Amino acid sequence: KNYPDALRHYQKALELDPLYPEAYHNRGNVYAKIGMVKKALEDYNKSIDLDEKNPHVYNSKCILLISLDRFEEAIKCIDKAILADPTEGASYKNKGICLYNLKQFRSAIEFYNTSLEYHQNCAATYSYKGEALNEVEFYEESLKCFDKAIELDSSASSIYFGKGYAVARSKDTNEAREYFNSALELEIANEDALDPETQFISGTRLEEALKCYSNLSNSDRSQAEMFRNKGYLLLKLQQASSAVEEYDNALAINPNNSTLHDLKGSALLEMKDYDHAIACFDQAIKFNPQNCRAFAHKGVALHKLKKYDEAINMYNTSIKMDTVFPMARIQREKCMKERDQSCTIF
């Protein structure tokens, strides 16, 4: 996950062989990971120009277009993947995702079924099929799909979100909340390691989850996790100030929890309250000096305050603690460029 170094290596490979389609494809994947959409699409298109028979690059481009809500374009792209290789199950899955987002749920289910004929053990496809079955109110069949998805992959937060939503619509709030708890536990612990094709949890799912955390009492110490989860959902729904209130409720119960201080600081970052965010990150580091995310997030706050050297020191500390945490490396690169540009200006 050292994306800057990966980009340099792919650039070197393309200097040696400018007609190497897989290098463009792989570099496009890196650009997509770090949010450089235009460059990613350019590289995918170049790879396709050089090798129009590779279904994998069409799928990569399709996933990026889905993340941009460009579903009609994504369908045209994935149809070319199916034409290039009719046995590639991922192509049918991705077309199903497009149709689902266009609210063509029954057609989506058909494509998910075709995908499963080729990739019988794909947890994500069972999860997506469960989502579509849920929309057409086939709740029992939907729950079976989520159960199969969890059996195949118990580490994907989106699967638990999906099952929680299905249970909330068909059963009771308490059971649904348990699945949302599992989803949020995974997501908070692995926010930097989510699969790009499963991390886009819809606002509808988040709002349904949020309902399950209503009317919580702050008198019970066991509720700290509930307040944390409610705060996390609010932050994802771009309600940062409300998220801070929930994190304060959780901290009133568990004041020495490093993760809670880090999450509160992240909400304050969204509010552009950088000084108070730094104070939260300092508390997170105090209670867990190995919290690499707190160092990285403190780096972001210092970066926003244009304290470039201090920010770079925080990013470096985070990287030393966790060499596979990509956010710190990406932000450090941006910070160094901004620092150098500011020096040039003056």
Interval 92-143: pLDDT, tens: 999 999 999 999 999 999 999 999 999 999 999 999 999 899 889 898 899 9
pLDDT digits (tens, 9 = 90+) for 288-328: 999 999 999 999 999 999 999 999 999 999 988 876 567 78
> Is pLDDT of 214 > 80?
no
Residue of higher predicted confidence among 28 and 35: 28
Check residues 220 and 109 and name the one with the higher pLDDT: 109
Mean pLDDT, the chain, integer: 87
pLDDT in tens, 229-249: 888 888 888 899 999 999 999
pLDDT band at 215 (very low <50, low <70, confident <90, very high): low
DSSP code per residue over 192-242: TS--TTT----HHHHHHHHHTTTT--TT-GGGHHHHHHHHHHHHHTT-HHH
Q: What pTM did the predictor assign?
A: 0.72
Per-residue pLDDT averaged across 58-80, rounded? 94
The residue written with tokens 């009609």 in the block is 72
Q: Measured between alpha carbons, how far is residue 247 from residues 37, 177, 185, 240 in Å?
A: 33, 18, 15, 10
pLDDT tops 60 at residue 194:
no
The Cα–Cα gap between 82 and 93 comes to 11
3-state secondary structure of 255: coil
